[in-house]
Amino acid sequence: MRSRFAPARAVMTATVLAAMAAVSCGRDADRRPPQQPVVDSDARDAAATPPSDDAIAGDERDGLWFPSAEFVGRQVAVLADPGLRGRGGGTADEAAAADRMAAWFRAAGLEPAGESGWLQPFTFGADRRSQNVIGMVRGTEPHAGHVIVGAHYDHLGVLGGEIHPGADDNASGASALVAIAAALTRDGQRPRRTVIVVAFGAEEDGLYGSQHYVANPRRPLDEAALMVNLDMVGRARFLSAKEYAMAHAVVPEDGIGALASPGALELVELAREAGRREGRPIVSASDYGPLETFIRPAVEYRGDHKSFAERGVTYLWLSTSMHDDYHLPSDTADKVDPATIVTVGRIVVRVIQTLP
């Protein structure tokens, strides 16, 4: 029997899917005016060497070792620190963050896989310079193809005289990359497929880092089994923006949003099973039947996964979605929940390990 509440549920569900679409940080509607490069190198010099307390601490749970929430939280705090001035694309601050990511990748046990050590330099706009940071985990079966795990590490920089620290957007995803790398290089946890780990630059300016990567991949894209994009994975409450409060009538507050390539339902199920093991439900656009067709076109082209989708690479995008601090100076590290980032990272590792 059709519930008399069905129309209201349909409206709320549509709202949920719209919110999932709105989360991605590289959307055209949110482009900011280009920033002038920062000419001093103080931030880059300060970030070149990691502090001595960067040793990777973690614990094993349900058969999977993973870095601790405390470790992940420290990384978010470093990237979102005012000293890096919001990591604006094409600035010395973004370059300093790239150096930090390279140092963390090294400490996590990755092999450098850039064009110049860890880095893959590129230019965008009017001769502005940025860089991807790339590392690799060699799989146990060299000919089994590879997986790409990516997250952008840049943000908006300084706008109107105010630093936009970008703690959730996307220091959260960048810190998850490091933790995932450390887990995958752990003895006994090395995956069957090789994993390429990429921190993308200049995402906020137009997905330039991921576009450069797909044009210059470190391994052929036709051998890629999956691309995982992590963008804003640091809020404990799913859809926490005030305008989406009613959505929680149909969506769990502790959910983690997921979007996979069209028809890749088995990939969503892998993520869902991993989420069950981690005690957090996966909320996917594919859960809502025909309504998915209204929102997918907007979602599929709003983050770094777009660059891979356009090249035919299957993708999985994970996010804890929109909040009221999005693209504002108030997106600070104290509002990020490191335990949620750990959960998302553990889900990614489990998906990679169980991928057929």
pLDDT tens, N- to C-terminus, the chain (356 residues): 433 334 444 445 555 555 554 444 444 434 444 444 443 434 444 444 444 345 789 999 999 999 999 999 999 999 999 999 999 999 999 999 999 999 999 999 999 999 989 999 999 998 899 999 999 999 999 899 999 999 999 999 999 999 999 999 999 999 999 999 999 999 999 999 999 999 999 999 999 999 999 999 999 999 999 999 999 999 999 888 888 777 777 788 899 999 999 989 999 999 999 999 999 999 987 787 776 777 677 666 779 999 999 999 999 999 998 899 999 999 999 999 999 999 999 999 999 999 99
Domain layout of the chain by residue ranges: 6-354
DSSP-derived letter for residue 285 is: G
pLDDT at 296: 73
Which H or E run includes 8?
helix 6-22
pLDDT at 73: 97
Q: DSSP characters for 198-263?
A: EEESS-TTTSHHHHHHHHS-SS-GGGEEEEEEE-S---SSTT-SGGGGGGGGTS-TT-EEEEESTT
pLDDT at 229: 97
Is the bond preceding residue 229 a cis peptide, omega within 30 degrees? Answer: no
Q: How many helices (H) and strands (E) does the chain have?
A: 10, 13
DSSP-derived letter for residue 192 is: S
CA separation, residue 104 to residues 134, 196, 236, 277 (Å): 11, 15, 24, 28
CA separation, residue 163 to residues 36, 41, 152 (Å): 14, 17, 18
* Pair of tokens at residue 216: 């210059």
Report the C-alpha gap between 209 and 230 in whole angstroms.
14
- Provide the CATH number for the domain formed by 6-354 in this structure: 3.40.630.10
User: At residue 227, what are phi and psi to the nearest 5 degrees?
Assistant: -120, 125
pLDDT at 2: 34
Is-contact 238 282, C-beta < 8 A? no
Is-contact 168 325, C-beta < 8 A? yes
Is-contact 157 209, C-beta < 8 A? no
Residue 186: beta bridge partners?
none
Q: Which of 26, 31, 32, 30 is nearest to 301 (CA)?
A: 26
Both ends of the chain: CA-CA distance in Å? 39
